[in-house]
């Protein structure tokens, strides 16, 4: 059973059977073909049996007159080919007669248009005739000189066996013609049914095709970008049909998705508004705290060391908090779609300045430059692009040990400027890589106060600024090799 199932599975996985429409049409044609084959076989068998029974009735009517007449051995004077005399009255053309004495055929002849023709008997023919029971019923034999015959055998008055036969050729010819006609008719019926069935299935599945088209349009929408207007609903047909039920369920699902997107968009808008408002409101008090701390450190009078240390920490942390507030405010503005400057920017000069600053901040690292022969210019916001470079280089410096080589390369690829920052440090952990450009993501999940640890917003700013410029950023990392690739359109 398993090989048959595998063959059926391979048949049903043909490329032309991948669609529901093709499978339904194929199934309809197969069922019709099986039905036609069953009807054809039944008709052929029935007609064959009917004609054979009619032939047996003719044999019963003919009786044994012809084989009885073969007992006379008198021959015509001009009989030179072994023809025998016999009673051919009421005998149809091709009637066969034979007489068997003690199980041995003594006479065998057939009625021809020219008279009675002796039939040569082979040993096989003799065995077949001897095997025919003398029960008066019809039996089929195949004689070497006459092909298939339907014969009946009776006991004679002198205990011999008389055999009468009629040719099966008319029956076989009729059955063959029936098979041919049935094959032609059923073939035409299958062809017409296949075409009509395909059209009918196609017409019946049109609502399902509209559902699929609507689903395709929904799949092409940028659902993750925020507020999205979903396409019109799929047309619903009779809800009692399977196609109508699918369309109704699909439309209800779209309604739930639209409600969820609307609520999510409203929640994100409230969160962005809160982040922007909070960041904006925090800038002033944070700057005030930092200013007062720095002013206190400038006091000329004696200050206990503990107080000095506390003031320094206040100034440092307030400065760090101010940077984080600025980063959150920048992300909120980018999320809100605030337009950036669109001016020609010499990206080569920005890279040179950023690497110079990185050397000063991380003298323990080895910094390398690989620049294109010609200056690379892009259209964008110079300040934000400088921030992208600073964040990438800071990330490479902070998360790699001293002595790590950091290579910054800039080249062009058609209409794209390709900026790469590569280091041979320990790499980004695999479990962190999928969300490395998300906000507040850190390679070390533990919250620490280590200098330069950051709040996990640097790479999210890189991704947001790159996308705002119509570009992209990607990460490839494994132990000993980490590469951040930024692609921007050239001017």
Q: Give the per-residue pLDDT at 118.
A: 85
Q: How far apart are the C-alpha atoms of 446 and 444, rounded to whole Å?
A: 5
Q: What average pLDDT score do residues 120-131 get?
A: 88
Q: Find the mean pLDDT for residues 344-354.
A: 92
First to last CA, the chain: 68
Note the pLDDT of residue 418.
93
pLDDT at 7 over 70: no
User: Between vectors from CA 194 to CA 235 and to CA 38, what angle results, nearest 5°?
Assistant: 130
Rounded Cα gap, residues 113 and 283, in angstroms: 125
Structure tokens at 469: 């410029």
Contacts of 311 (CB under 8 A, 6+ apart): 293, 296, 297, 303
What are the structural domain ranges in the chain?
A: 11-61+169-204, 63-167, 221-338, 341-489
Percent of the chain whose pLDDT exceeds 70: 76
Mean pLDDT of 232-251: 69
Secondary structure (3-state) at 123: helix
Take residue 428 and report the two structure tokens written for it.
């980004």
Task: Decide which of 3.30.2020.10, 1.10.150.650, 3.30.565.10, 1.10.3720.10 is the CATH code for 341-489.
Answer: 3.30.565.10
pLDDT classification of 446: cutoffs 50, 70, 90: very low
User: How far is it, in rounded angstroms, from Cα 28 to Cα 189?
Assistant: 12
User: String of b and e for 102-132 (b: at least 16 CB within 10 Å)?
Assistant: eeebebbbbbeeeebbbbebeeebbebbeeb
Picking from 300, 33, 75, 50, the residue whose alpha carbon sits closest to that of residue 186 is 33
With 70 as the cut, is the pLDDT of residue 270 above it?
A: no
Band of the pLDDT at 452, cuts 50, 70, 90? very low
Q: Per-residue pLDDT for 1 more than 50? A: no
More confident residue, 294 or 123: 123
CATH 1.10.287 fits 221-338, yes or no: yes
Q: What does the alpha-carbon distance between residue 297 and residue 293 come to, in Å, rounded to a whole number?
A: 6
CATH number for the region 63-167 comes to 3.30.450
195-205 tens-digit pLDDT: 888 888 777 77
Where b means 16+ CB within 10 Å and e means fewer, 305-334 reads: eeeeeebeebbeebbbbbebbbbbbbbbbb
CB burial class (10 A; 0-12, 13-18, 19+) of residue 252?
A: exposed
* Residue in the block written with tokens 């590569």: 422
The chain-wide mean pLDDT, for the chain, equals: 79
Decide whether 63-167 matches 341-489 in CATH topology: no
* pLDDT for position 10: 55
* CB neighbourhood size of 463 (10 A): 21
For the cut 70, the answer to whether the pLDDT of residue 14 exceeds it is: no
């Amino acid at each position: 059973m398993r090989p048959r199932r595998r063959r059926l599975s391979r048949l049903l996985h043909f490329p032309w059977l991948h669609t529901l429409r093709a499978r339904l049409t194929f199934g309809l044609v197969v069922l019709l073909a099986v039905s036609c084959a069953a009807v054809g076989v039944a008709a052929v068998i029935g007609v064959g049996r009917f004609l054979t029974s009619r032939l047996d009735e003719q044999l019963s009517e003919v009786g044994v007159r012809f084989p009885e007449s073969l007992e006379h051995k008198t021959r015509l004077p001009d009989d030179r080919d072994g023809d025998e005399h016999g009673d051919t009255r009421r005998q149809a053309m091709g009637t066969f007669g034979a007489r068997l004495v003690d199980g041995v055929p003594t006479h065998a002849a057939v009625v021809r248009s020219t008279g009675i023709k002796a039939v040569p008997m082979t040993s096989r023919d003799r065995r077949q005739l001897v095997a025919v029971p003398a029960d008066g019923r019809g039996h089929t034999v195949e004689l070497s000189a006459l092909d298939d015959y339907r014969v009946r055998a009776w006991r004679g008055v002198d205990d011999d066996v008389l055999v009468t036969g009629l040719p099966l050729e008319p029956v076989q010819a009729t059955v063959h013609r029936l098979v041919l006609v049935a094959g032609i008719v059923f073939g035409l019926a299958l062809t017409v049914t296949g075409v009509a069935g395909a059209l009918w299935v196609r017409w019946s599945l049109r609502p399902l095709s509209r559902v699929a088209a609507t689903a395709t349009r929904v799949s092409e929408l940028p659902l993750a970008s925020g507020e999205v207007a979903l396409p019109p609903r799929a047309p619903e047909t009779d809800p009692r049909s399977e196609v109508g039920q699918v369309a109704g369920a699909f439309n209800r699902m779209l309604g739930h998705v639209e409600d969820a997107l609307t609520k999510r968009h409203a929640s994100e808008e409230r969160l962005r508004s809160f982040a922007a408002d909070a960041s904006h409101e925090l800038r002033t008090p944070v700057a005030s705290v930092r200013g007062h701390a720095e002013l206190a450190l400038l006091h000329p009078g004696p200050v206990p060391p503990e107080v000095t240390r506390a003031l320094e920490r206040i100034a440092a942390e307030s400065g760090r908090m101010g940077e984080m507030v600025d980063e959150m405010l920048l992300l909120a503005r980018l999320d809100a779609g605030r337009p950036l400057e669109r001016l020609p920017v010499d990206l080569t000069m920005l890279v040179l300045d950023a690497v110079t600053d990185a050397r000063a901040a991380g003298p323990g690292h080895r910094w390398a430059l690989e620049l294109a022969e010609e200056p690379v210019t892009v259209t964008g916001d110079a300040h934000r692009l400088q921030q992208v470079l600073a964040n990438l280089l800071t990330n490479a410096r902070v998360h790699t040990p001293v002595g790590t080589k950091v290579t910054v390369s800039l080249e062009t690829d058609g209409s794209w400027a390709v900026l790469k920052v590569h280091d041979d440090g320990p790499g980004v952990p695999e479990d962190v890589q999928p969300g490395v450009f998300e906000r507040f993501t850190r390679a070390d999940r533990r919250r620490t106060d280590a200098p330069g640890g950051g709040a996990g917003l640097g790479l999210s700013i890189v991704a947001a600024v790159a996308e705002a410029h119509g570009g992209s950023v990607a990460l490839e990392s494994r132990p000993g090799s980490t590469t951040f690739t930024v692609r921007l359109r050239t001017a």
